[in-house]
Amino acid sequence: MRVFVQGIGVWAPKLPDWQTAQAVIRGDAALPEMAAKRPTGALLAANERRRAPDTVVLALEVAAAACADAALDPTLLPSIFASTHGDLSVCDSMSTTLAASPELVSPIKFHNSVHNAAVGYWTIATGAVEASTALSASNETFAEGLLEAAVYALSEHRPVLLVVYDIQVVGGLASVTKSDGLFGVALVIAPEADQRTKCQLDIDWVDLPASVAPEISCSPAEAAVSGNALAPMLPALERIARGDTRPLVLPLARHRGLSLVVEETTP
């Protein structure tokens, strides 16, 4: 499969946008010393911004940035939102309340705990009415999201917005799964190149041995996202930033993976 990246959005505490991330990955700039706690949530109305959890403001930040980078109207794009864990901070808070004082469970926390909360806020904030999908696939979440986006773009012959994001895990759930900090990436994936195309992605199936270790990032940007559940997708972002054409294998299932090759392209 061959698809094209038209827009990119990135956010981490020390990587507030794609331009900063690209410069750090390429070695053209040092990792900023100052770190933000979370995105501003500017896309949301004031009341929604106060109630929205980190997953929502993170996902909406990178989604809006990718659409702006591609110069595409968000209302015209189908979307795929993918997260390894969703909002386990909200889930931990709800579980703690249920165990101690179940009558105090907040309806707001409940609707923020569901895995498609971020895409729900996205459709409300932008007025988007195109098809949307929320998915999770453990350590293979980025690969599954990329596969879903590529197949959708090619089968429907239209651009699609892919948003992947994860936040910190806290409370009792931290004893069974791990993730630190905030990290989100959004890509507008298109079936054809145009004047705003950043690169092309050649994607193919590959067989994997019984166990395969994911490639480890070697750029300074790794320090900004180390420990986050989404960090294993950083090598793919590095290839896009550098124009690196070396094949990257993304585990997809126990014995199957995706081969990803990034190539420069012109429309």
pLDDT at 208: 82
Q: Within 13 Å of residue 262, how many CA atoms lie on the same side as its CB?
A: 18
pLDDT at 141: 95
Residues 6+ apart with CB under 8 A from 224: 12, 13, 14, 15, 24, 31, 183
Q: What is the CATH number of the domain that holds 161?
A: 3.40.47.10
Residue-wise pLDDT for 212-242, tens only, equals 667 777 788 898 898 999 999 999 999 999 9
Q: By C-alpha distance, which of 128, 109, 127, 106 is closest to 117?
A: 109
Residues 6+ apart with CB under 8 A from 50: none
Dist CA 150 CA 176 (whole Å) = 32
pLDDT at 210: 63
Domain count, the chain: 1
- Give the chain's end-to-end CA distance (angstroms, integer): 17
CA distances in angstroms from 182 to 164, 227, 239, 244, listed in the order given: 11, 10, 21, 26
DSSP summary character for residue 256: E
Is the alpha carbon torsion for 213, 151, 86, 66 positive or negative?
A: positive
Query: At 202, is the secondary structure helix, strand, or coil?
Result: strand
Residue 134 structural domain: 2-263
CA distances in angstroms from 54 to 31, 60, 113, 213, listed in the order given: 22, 10, 11, 29
Residues of the chain with pLDDT under 70: 111, 210-213, 266-267
Dist CA 233 CA 23 (whole Å) = 18
- Specify the pTM: 0.93
- Dihedral angle over CA of 194, 196, 201, 202, nearest 10: 20
pLDDT at 233: 92
